[in-house]
Structure 1
Amino acid sequence: MINSEIVDAVREVWGDRLRPIPPEFLSPLLSAQTHWFVRTVGLPAVETVYSEPVSDEEFRVARHRRQGHEYVAVAEGAGYYYGIEVDTDRVMMVSDGRADTYVVNSDVALFVLFLGVVEKTLSALDEQPDLADDRIEEAIYGVIAQLRLRDAEAMAGRDNFWFNLLCELLEF
C-alpha cells in the first residue's frame, strides 16, 4: 500500500530525477493508487545500473500478456522490462523471450524506492574503490534489511529479484 512515508522516502532518494506521467498517458488498466503515484510522484527519469526509463507512450500501453496477466512497462533493461501486473499492482520483471516473470516489488512506489536505494548504494560503493569487503557486505545487507522491512512480499521465498541480485553483487 502506498503511503506518505514511502512517498517521502522516494522523493528523498530521487530528488528532481523523477518524471510524473501526464494523465493522458495513464493506462485505464491501472489501479487508483498506481495512477496517483505515477501522476503525482512519477517514475525515474534517468538511466540506472539496472533500468532505463520508458517513454510516456510505452507506459500507456499494456505491453504483454503472460500467463493470463497484463503488464504495463515502468522501466526497461537488456532483454527484459519491469511491468506493473495490472490485476495485482505488483511490479514484475518480465523477460522478453521467455515466459518467466519474477516479483520485484509489491507496488510501483516500492519499486521506485528500491531502484533508487540500490542505485544510490552502488554509486556510493563505486566512489570508494578501496573499501574493505566487510564494509561492502554491510552496505548490501543494509539494503536487504530495508527491503525485508518495507516489502516483505517481494522478499518472500528464495527466488526473489532483489535478494538474488544483491547476493550476486556480494560474490564479486
Structure 2
Amino acid sequence: MPDSSTRDRVALAIARLGPSGVCPVCPGTCGAAVAAMLAPFVFLPLSLPMRCVALAVVYFIGAWAAGRAEHLLGRKDPGEVVVDELLGQWVTMLPFASLTWPQVLAAFALFRLFDILKPWPVRAAESWLPGGHGVMVDDGVAGLEAMLVLAGLLHFGLL
C-alpha cells in the first residue's frame, strides 16, 4: 500500500489535472480547455453507457482528490483544483457521439459561462454536499445547463 505522502501527491496531481491547476492565469479555464481538447479523443469515442461510467469514475475519484487537496492546501475549493472542470466539461458533451471542433469550442465556452456566472441552481449546488463532493457537484450542474443550451443550438442548426 502506498504511503500517505504518495497518496497525497497522487491526490494533488488528479485534483490539479497534472499541471493545469497550477496555471498562473485562470486555472479553471485551463483545466476546462484541457478537458475539451481531450474529449474528442478520450471521451466522445466511447458509447453513451461508457461515457456515463467514465463520468461516474471522474466524479468519485475527483471528489476524493478534491477533498484531499482541500485538506492539504488548507482552503475550501482551492482555485488550483480543476478536476471538477473535467467533470463539467464532459457532462456538457455527454449526449453527443461526435462534435466538430467549432462545436467543442462552443461546449467549452458554454460550460465556462455557466461555471463562472453560476446561475441557479449552480450556485446553490456548491453547498449541497460537503468536501470534495461539493467541489464536484456544482460543475456537474453547470455542465448540465451548458449541455441543454448546446443541444438547443445544435437542434436548431445554429452550430
When the two structures are superposed, what TM-score results if normalisation uses the length of structure 2?
0.30
Higher strand share: 1
Structure with the bigger RCO (C-alpha within 8 Å, sep 6+) is: 2
When the two structures are superposed, what TM-score results if normalisation uses the length of structure 1?
0.28
Higher helix share: 2
